[in-house]
Amino acid sequence: MDYGYFNQFLARPVDRNWWGTRTQHIAGVAAALAVTDHTSQHYFSKSLRQTLCFAKSPATFVAHTFLFIFVGVTLYVGADAALNPH
């Protein structure tokens, strides 16, 4: 994998600007995980009626962590499969 658009700043040839590059992977996974983490925290905190915290509810925090990572990566893979033209 290359860095796509950012290769030009590293004096490397640009094969593809976005799809199939490290930049797409890094930004896409990070964005998906950020969105699912915040969404999961919101709903878990709402159901607990308190801030989600490992010290207060370790099992719930572990469940939240597993679920947001699983859902975030699944969403990223699904979006890549649906939108990637290559």
Kindly report, residue by residue over 20-44, the tens digit of the pLDDT: 999 999 999 999 999 999 999 999 9
- Residue spans of beta strands (DSSP E) within 1-86: none
Q: What is the pTM of this model?
A: 0.87
61 has a pLDDT exceeding 70: yes
Rounded to whole angstroms, the Cα distance separating 46 from 35 reads: 17
Question: With bands split at pLDDT 50, 70 and 90, how would you rate the model's confidence at 54?
Answer: very high
1 has a pLDDT exceeding 80: no
Q: Please count the residues of the chain.
A: 86
Half-sphere exposure of 1 (CA within 13 A, CB side): 10
